[in-house]
Structure 1
Amino acid sequence: MPSFPNEPDVSRVAGALLVSVSLLRRRLRQAPIDGELTLPETSALTRLDRGGPTTSAALARTEQISPQSMGATLAALEARGLVQRSADPDDGRRVLLTPTDAGLEVLRTRRSARVEQLAQALSNGFTPTELTQLMAAAPLLERLAQNL
């Protein structure tokens, strides 16, 4: 692919994004939130929220973890009343998992707390121009994540 004089080097952009997004994610994880879920619990509950009802095996494949690990994660979520099991209406032998209202509320609370964390950080030392640039970059970062 030919390079043009004013065109950014894709590898340098990728490297800079990897470093900055990794640091942001790590810092967000380091700040605890009351009643915090583990990373696997958060991931499983989020996938159930966004992807709809699914089986434990399908969730394990999607998360690229062993079925046993997913089973333990789901058992912990179920014990806390955050997910529920039900028979698949198309195949009664299969069990589908869905988030409960309590599980959805935990996700909403968690997201709100993380948004507040970010808002506090943004309000300390970012100019209106920088905030506009970050707002413009957000959909691009989301599209990048969807392309991975």
Structure 2
Amino acid sequence: MADGVDADEADAEQVAAELRLSIGLLVRRLRQVRIEGDLTLPENSALARLDRDGPTTSSALAKIEQISPQSMGATVAALLSRGLLEQREDPADGRRRLLWVTEAGRQALGSRRNARTQQLAQVLTSGFTQDELRRLAAAAPLIERLAQEL
């Protein structure tokens, strides 16, 4: 722990506060470094959601992402114009248009993920001991579980 508290003495509230601060800082720092052709946060979020969950409508995506349909419309328009999404007729209801991630969209997501991973790996390689790397590796599944249970 940052203030030297033994792990056996840690209380959940203190751990929660320290995790919130440290993970928040990590996320902000990762977002600060721009990658050429990088997606905006809303673009990345929408594209990643569609890639993970499959095709849906713009209005359904707005609801899932908890943003206004107008904001999602602007995000979708930008992704469509860059060729990262395409619209197709819904096979179950020809009146609806579904958003699909294109191969270029998948490549953009992959490039973004790879760049962020490389950014982290470079820092880990140059500034952390093997023991610290093992401890971080052991913590990663716990942090993922924490995120899934929120």
Give the TM-score of the pair, scaled to structure 2. Answer: 0.92
Give the TM-score of the pair, scaled to structure 1. Answer: 0.93
Matched, 1:52 2:51: no
Q: CA RMSD in A?
A: 1.0
1:26 Cα offset (Å)? 0.4
Q: Show the counterpart of 1:118.
A: 120
Matched, 1:137 2:139: yes
**Matched length:** 143
Q: Show the counterpart of 2:27.
A: 25
Between the aligned partners of 2:61 and 2:140, the Cα distance in structure 1 is 27
Q: Show the counterpart of 1:9.
A: 11
Summarize the alignment of residues 45-84 of structure 1 with structure 2, pairs less than 5 Å apart: 45-84=47-86
Q: Show the counterpart of 1:41.
A: 43
Output one character per residue of 1:71-106: Cα deviation in whole Å (capped at 9) or x when no partner. 110000000000011111111122111110000001
Q: What percent identity do the matched residue pairs reach?
A: 63
Q: Show the counterpart of 2:110.
A: 108
Q: Show the counterpart of 1:3.
A: none
1:7 Cα offset (Å)? 5.4
Output one character per residue of 1:38-96: Cα deviation in whole Å (capped at 9) or x when no partner. 11001100101111111111111111100000011000000000001111111112211
Between the aligned partners of 1:63 and 1:92, the Cα distance in structure 2 is 24
Between the aligned partners of 1:51 and 1:7, the Cα distance in structure 2 is 41
Between the aligned partners of 2:149 and 2:97, the Cα distance in structure 1 is 30
Please list every run of 5 or more consecutive structure 2 residues that lacks an aligned counterpart in the other structure: 1-7
Q: 1:7 to 1:90 in 2, by over 3 A?
A: farther
Between the aligned partners of 1:134 and 1:15, the Cα distance in structure 2 is 18
Provide runs of 4+ in structure 1 moved above 2 Å. none
AA aligned opposite 1:48: L
Between the aligned partners of 1:45 and 1:52, the Cα distance in structure 2 is 10
1:8 Cα offset (Å)? 2.6
| Of 81, 94, 98, the match for 1:96 | 98
Between the aligned partners of 2:143 and 2:80, the Cα distance in structure 1 is 33
